[in-house]
A = this chain, B = another copy of it.
Amino acid sequence: DFMNALDEVKPAFGVSEEELETAMSAGILHYSPYIENILKDGRLFVDLVKNSATTSLLSVLLHGPPGSGKTALAARIAKDSQFPFIKLISAENMVGFSEMAKIQYLNKIFTDAYKSPQNIVVVDNIERIIEWVPIGPRFSNPVLQALMVLLTKNPPVPRRLLILGTTSQRSVMRQLDLQQIFNRELAVPNINSHKELASVLREVQAFDNESDLAESLNELRSITGTDQVGVGIKKVLLAVGEAKQEEGNVVNRFAEVVAQQMAANQG
């Protein structure tokens, strides 16, 4: 009770450094102006929460296709804020938790946040946290409801809180009335053009030389019959890795794997 009381008031500084680093372990590549725009908006939201007299709570939803880089960008924005309290809430830390335990876990992190002056909570992959599955559909309504409340609950004066949610299922968020609960949205795109793809490939030195790169993209174009890509950065980086395993066949293998990923997206 004394300890509890203490616990109530003691500031909870703390940043999930390692988790943030893991989330962007392959860095942030600037393959498109959109990336910079997202980071710029992120900085503005950070400033708004830090400075505005009227806005002590702001919630932003980063949405985009699977593997497009949502978690990495949220981590980048959070890290750059240099806020004393930054936590990443992820289903990975809740495997085997009961519904109640999940809710307590969520509640604990927000309650901790209310003790530090400036806070960021990243709620990563919301569909996984609420245990969404399209068949049924089924999900944990108790967890969803707790989240809905925590996303709108004002921190006590004069604390500030920025919430960054991520999802690849924006339509699900809408169906659940969860999207409207966020104050603002940021759309994270796929790698959409050969130009963007080339930019990535150069930056990660996927090929030994420019002509290999050109050949591989030509091959990709000839398989798919289009200049569109529509694949997330995560899968592109994986394809680079896989291609590199097949020495002597890197150019072709890369094109084939990306083509398969494009087909799977349609599928």
Contacts and interface: CB of A to CB of B under 8 A. Distances in A.
Contact of A245 (B22, B48, B95): B48
Interface size class of A (residues with CB under 8 A): 35 or more
A267 interface: yes
A177 B138 CA distance: 12
A44 B91 contact: no
A175 interface: yes
**Interface residues of A, dominant DSSP:** helix
A24 interface: no
- Copies of this chain, count: 6
Nearest to A242: B48
Given A52-B244, A55-B242, A103-B96, A144 B137 contact: no
A180 interface: yes
Contacts of A142: 131
A176 interface: yes
A62 interface: no
Contacts of A136: 141
A169 B154 CA distance: 22
Contacts of A150: 95
Interface in A216-240: 235, 237-238, 240
Contacts of A135: 137, 139, 175-176
A208 interface: no
B131 A66 contact: no
A153 B138 CA distance: 22
Contacts of A51: 245
Interface in A105-158: 107, 128, 131, 133-139, 141-142, 144-146, 148-150, 153-154
Interface string A38-73: 000000100110011111001000000010000000
Contact of A95 (B44, B47, B107, B241): B107
7 tightest A-B CB contacts, nearest first:
A55-B241, A52-B241, A131-B145, A54-B241, A96-B103, A91-B149, A48-B245
